[in-house]
Structure 1
Amino acid sequence: MSRPSLNDLNAFVAVATHRSFRRAADELGTAPSTLSHAMRALEERMGVRLLNRTTRSVSPTEAGFQLLGHLQSALASLDEALDSVAAFRGKVAGTVRINAPRLAAALLVRDVLPLMSERFPDVIVDVVVQGLLIDIVSAGFDAGMRLADSIPKDMIAVPLGAPVRFICVASPAYLDRAGVPKTPEDLKRHRCIGHRLPSGKLYRWEFARAGQELTIDTTASILLDDEELMVEAAVKGLGIAYVAGPAAAAALAAGQLRAVLVSWMPGAEALAVYYPGHRAVPPALRAFLDVVRDASKTGSNA
């Protein structure tokens, strides 16, 4: 059996990861039909079917999944080996495009960008603030940042900072007027500040205690799509808000807000930078990821 070329193997990883000839072709800069022929030739050369095809979908076979798992780590190691000589070519330069929600972008500005500016002044970090979870590959981003549980499984995640805990907060004046909720069910009798997601749906408030999990559809008196505005509305006494801890940290420290239902709040969730594992990692992105790892060791977003 003749050994497949590196281009063929990289193409297989793209198709198997995207589960689409069209999307893989867009990434690789070729035609879907060309890619399909290349995959059939690869299967013939290897003597095993790697992909299941229908008129609407493509997915790896059992053999394909096994090959994909080995190739992803092997190609990543190859990228690291090639990038290891970047320092001998001169300074690391280029642009890194990052997609992140506002809270995560603020963390990047606070903990990552100062280190990037110091260590890699010739690297431009282009941060686009967007709440909607998008396909960063098709949208032209090098990496994204999200809560780890919402990151696609085919991506490589690099944790950043301390895990984030969501909390319910309200102003002392509001709680003196309306009372302090003791259980999530009590929220039905309170004014709540709702969070409209980028998809248009309303965020359902999640609670957990002693193995019991609850999801509450609150009757919101105000709907906002920005956590900073939600915190401001809570400070003004307009109701109870359900927000990420860092968003409300300053107002809590200043006594403008109080946390409620503390024993009912779910566990903390990790924030992470993520990027495609099947693509070559450019030196600028690798430099950014190295800084993220260093910032995660020393920083905290609690």
Structure 2
Amino acid sequence: MHKSGLVELDAVLAVARRRSFRAAALDLDMAASAVSQAIAGLERRLGSRLFHRTTRSVALTEAGRHFVQQIQPAVRQIRQAFIDTESRHQAPSGTLRINSSLGAALMAFQPILLEYLSRYPDMHLDIVTEGRKLDIVAEGYDAGLRDSASVPQDMIRVAIDHEIPMVVVASPTYLHAHGRPLAPEQLSTHNCIRARMPDGAPSAWDFCKDGRAYRLEVPGRLTLDTPILMREAARAGMGLAQLARAHVADDLASGRLVAVLHDQVPAYPGLSLYYPGHRHVPAGLRALVELIHERRGTNDSRPAAGDKSRPASD
């Protein structure tokens, strides 16, 4: 983005965000010395120091804080104007690399990603699914796809869905043999197919009662790390599973699986595409963002808000 004519202002915002000249230089694809020179030149013209610098830390001065607060919205608007103008003359082409949890990729694949490939024949999608959360910039990805609560706070978040409805399901055969639980506490006598957290531990199940959310450790002989395997195990009568409704919608419609505890299973935060807002947004990524907006009939792109992630939808 430093080629946009906003070299000095981009440098100030990057250093203020990262609190490091070296890290800011990596974000801007510039040499650290060039970032330092750009800021020093601006400080000379302003007649005011913007940063306190020591060998160990970088921090905004009082004048620097005021300066950043004032220029940030304007720089964002100018950057967007550059992107919008460039995008009008660029047909999306090339490769878009996306990192995603498997559950998020499954839920977004049919309604969004396949439509994207159909609409833009010159685009290639390279999607890597994994449970661990990583720095998409450091790992060379253009964007990430996760539940909204898992999106890092320094990213631009584009909401795909408001929420992810969850269900507890089992096969008719299992329910006939073991009975239908009427309350979450009755799961203690059932076999539950549990999801594995990224750290390797089985995930507790989430429930709600009288408007209060709570988590319940459930017993089970089978712990799996993908919703596809959990669905297959439930189909085979191995026990109850808590899954995103999107993963089992066809099974519920056909009767292969039956939902239980209907009014006691909460929804999870919806899916979001996310990407770094301080970098140039390529035409291919912008086209995907516009497709998401079109599908939702909104223009909901915003900085991510911090929250605890919910692993069961992954």
TM-score by length of 1: 0.82
Give 1:186's aligned residue.
186
Deviation at 1:254, TM superposition (A): 1.7
In the alignment, residue 101 of structure 1 is paired with which amino acid? S
Task: Tell me if 1:220 matches 2:220.
Answer: yes
In the alignment, residue 192 of structure 1 is paired with which amino acid? C
Give 1:106's aligned residue.
106
Measured in 2, the distance between the counterparts of 1:294 and 1:219 equals 43
Higher mean C-alpha deviation, range 85-94 or range 8-17: 85-94
- The 3 A distance-change label for structure 1 pair 265 and 30 is same
Measured in 1, the distance between the counterparts of 2:108 and 2:89 equals 28
Measured in 1, the distance between the counterparts of 2:238 and 2:66 equals 55
1:112-147 deviation per Cα after TM superposition (whole angstroms, max 9, x unaligned): 234333443222222222232221111111111111
CA contact (8 A) 1:171 1:234 kept: yes
Give 2:277's aligned residue.
277
1:170-214 deviation per Cα after TM superposition (whole angstroms, max 9, x unaligned): 122222222222222222222111111233232221212222221
Task: Tell me if 1:291 matches 2:272.
Answer: no
1:207-265 deviation per Cα after TM superposition (whole angstroms, max 9, x unaligned): 12222221112233111000010011111111111111111112211212111222211
- The 3 A distance-change label for structure 1 pair 118 and 63 is farther
TM-score by length of 2: 0.80
CA contact (8 A) 2:87 2:283 kept: no
Deviation at 1:20, TM superposition (A): 4.6
In the alignment, residue 244 of structure 1 is paired with which amino acid? A
Measured in 2, the distance between the counterparts of 1:88 and 1:96 equals 18
1:21-69 deviation per Cα after TM superposition (whole angstroms, max 9, x unaligned): 4433322234556646755665665566656778776566776666556
Measured in 2, the distance between the counterparts of 1:279 and 1:166 equals 35
Unaligned 5+ segments in structure 1 are none
- The 3 A distance-change label for structure 1 pair 114 and 196 is closer
Deviation at 1:72, TM superposition (A): 4.8
Measured in 1, the distance between the counterparts of 2:278 and 2:85 equals 20
Give 1:148's aligned residue.
148
CA contact (8 A) 1:96 1:125 kept: yes
Measured in 2, the distance between the counterparts of 1:243 and 1:53 equals 50
